């Protein structure tokens, strides 16, 4: 698994949204790494991580020749993260995730709650997909494998990933997100969609987590709107909720300063605990 690491101190593992990679955290890295050790993996099949969970992706290699060792599952993605923590000799971390990254973070919590010192959930939800949502994911996965993702995936995702204010005023963010989507391999896109389609509900795991939790959501997020964030915060016994104005589904890219201003004090309280 490929990852980017910087900073020192308490380890903070941040898991990216779909269909992006670890670079979505770059706009907030400089501020966070002053306080914590920031670790941002590329999840299986996306960014520079290969579909077999290694960091040796070859974009020129035909899909059929790539080794795929596991069926699509958020639990497999969570096992990748736990294996990375073992490799880095990190018994406990503050774990964060945005959107799909939140699903994986909750899967880690289900599998190994003792490894999670704090939980940061960003524009995500605990509930499983309904039948319509699941069918849509399978359709996207099939099309990605059949036709590739050039053009249509970006045009489909961009309007939903970014808030109204970003589309109107932050053209550089729109361009950056477009570049990240265009960089993702079709097989990784398909695997991630099928993994998300099959994920279970995580509400029970959240209710059982006694540690500190911060839930962050963009006020203009239409994919996982603030009511989803309130459900998350209500399920977590020791949580805080923050709604960021003028922000959609990707706060670390749309409003990096506001996101860092929300996360850094919370991390400081964890450090002092």
Distances, alpha carbon 164 to alpha carbons 158, 170, 181, 230, in Å? 11, 10, 19, 21
Q: What is the pLDDT of residues 88-104, one digit of tens each?
A: 999 999 999 999 999 99
DSSP secondary structure of 130-176? -HHHHHHHHHHHHHHHHH-STTHHHHHHHHHHS-HHHHHH-HHHHHH
116-122: strand order across its sheet: 3-6, 37-41, 11-15, 93-98, 116-122, 213-218, 239-244
Say if CB 96 and CB 15 are below 8 A apart: yes
Q: What is the pLDDT of residue 52?
A: 87
Residue whose C-alpha is closest to residue 87's, from 121, 29, 41, 32: 41
Domain 3-272 of CATH type 3.40.1190.10: no
Say if CB 106 and CB 95 are below 8 A apart: no
Cα–Cα dist 237/148, whole Å: 43
Q: What is the pLDDT of residue 173?
A: 98
* pTM, to two decimals: 0.93
Say if CB 246 and CB 220 are below 8 A apart: yes
Q: What is the pLDDT of residue 56?
A: 54
Q: Average pLDDT per run of 10 along the chain, which is 273 residues long?
A: 95 98 98 96 96 62 46 96 98 98 98 98 97 97 96 96 98 98 97 97 96 98 97 97 98 98 94 66
The two tokens of residue 48 are 């520079």
Q: What is the pLDDT of residue 54?
A: 75
Q: What is the pLDDT of residue 59?
A: 41
3-class state of residue 114 by DSSP: helix
Residue whose C-alpha is closest to residue 158's, from 136, 138, 180: 180
């Amino acid at each position: 698994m490929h990852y980017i690491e910087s900073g020192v101190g308490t380890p903070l593992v941040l898991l990216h949204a779909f269909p992006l990679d670890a670079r979505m955290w770059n706009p907030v890295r400089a501020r966070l790494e002053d306080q914590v050790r920031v670790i941002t993996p590329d999840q299986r099949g996306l960014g520079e991580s290969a579909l077999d969970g290694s960091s040796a992706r070859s974009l020129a290699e035909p899909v059929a020749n790539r080794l795929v060792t596991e069926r699509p599952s958020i639990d497999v993605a969570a096992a990748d993260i736990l294996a990375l923590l073992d490799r880095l000799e990190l018994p406990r971390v503050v774990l964060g995730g945005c959107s799909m990254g939140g699903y994986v973070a909750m899967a880690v919590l289900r599998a190994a709650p003792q490894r999670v010192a704090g939980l940061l959930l960003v524009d995500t939800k605990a509930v499983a997909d309904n039948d319509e949502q699941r069918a849509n994911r399978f359709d996207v996965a099939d099309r990605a494998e059949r036709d590739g993702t050039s053009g249509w995936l970006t045009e489909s995702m961009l309007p939903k990933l970014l808030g109204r204010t970003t589309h109107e005023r932050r053209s550089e963010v729109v361009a950056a997100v477009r570049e990240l989507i265009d960089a993702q391999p079709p097989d990784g896109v398909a695997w991630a969609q099928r993994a998300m389609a099959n994920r279970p509900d995580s509400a029970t795991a959240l209710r059982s987590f006694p540690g500190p939790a911060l839930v962050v959501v963009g006020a203009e997020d239409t994919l996982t709107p603030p009511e989803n964030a309130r459900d998350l915060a209500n399920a977590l016994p020791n949580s805080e909720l923050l709604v960021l104005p003028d922000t959609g589904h990707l706060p670390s890219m749309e409003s990096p300063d506001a996101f860092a201003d929300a996360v850094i004090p919370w991390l400081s309280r964890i450090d002092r605990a």
